[in-house]
Amino acid sequence: MANKSDEHYFFEQGDAFLLPTRLLYGADGGAIYNAALPAFTVCESFATEAYLKSLIKIQTGTPAPPVHNLKKLFEKMDTVTQTAIRDEWMERHAKSVLNLDPGNAPDGTPYETKKVTSFDEALDLSAQAFLKWRYDFHQHHGWYMRALGYLVRRQILKLRPEWKPEFGSYFARIDPHPDFIKTKP
- pLDDT tens for residues 41-100? 888 889 999 999 999 999 999 999 999 899 999 999 999 999 999 998 888 776 666 555
pLDDT over 90, % of the chain: 31
In a domain, 110, yes or no: yes
d(CA 142, CA 25): 17
In a domain, 105, yes or no: yes
Residues 97, 144 contacting (CB under 8 angstroms): yes
pLDDT reported for residue 128 = 80
- Of the two residues 16 and 131, the one the predictor is more confident about is 16
CA-wise closest residue to 126 among 141, 102, 143 = 143
pLDDT reported for residue 82 = 95
In a domain, 57, yes or no: yes
d(CA 49, CA 55): 10
In a domain, 182, yes or no: no
Domain that holds residue 78: 6-177
In a domain, 127, yes or no: yes
In a domain, 162, yes or no: yes
d(CA 53, CA 68): 10
CA-wise closest residue to 43 among 134, 106, 108 = 134
Total of domains in the chain? 1
In a domain, 143, yes or no: yes
CA-wise closest residue to 51 among 81, 28, 24, 90 = 81
User: In sequence order, what are the residues at sequence separation of 6 or more whose Cβ sits closer than 8 angstroms to the Cβ of residue 1?
Assistant: none
pTM of the model: 0.78
Rounded average pLDDT over 107-131? 70
Query: Which regions of 64-127 does DSSP assign to beta strands (E)?
Result: none
Residues 133, 38 contacting (CB under 8 angstroms): yes
In a domain, 183, yes or no: no
Indicate the average pLDDT of the chain.
Answer: 75
Looking at mean pLDDT, say which of 34-48, 99-113, 167-181 comes out highest. Answer: 34-48
Residues 67, 73 contacting (CB under 8 angstroms): yes
d(CA 91, CA 21): 23
- Of the two residues 35 and 119, the one the predictor is more confident about is 119
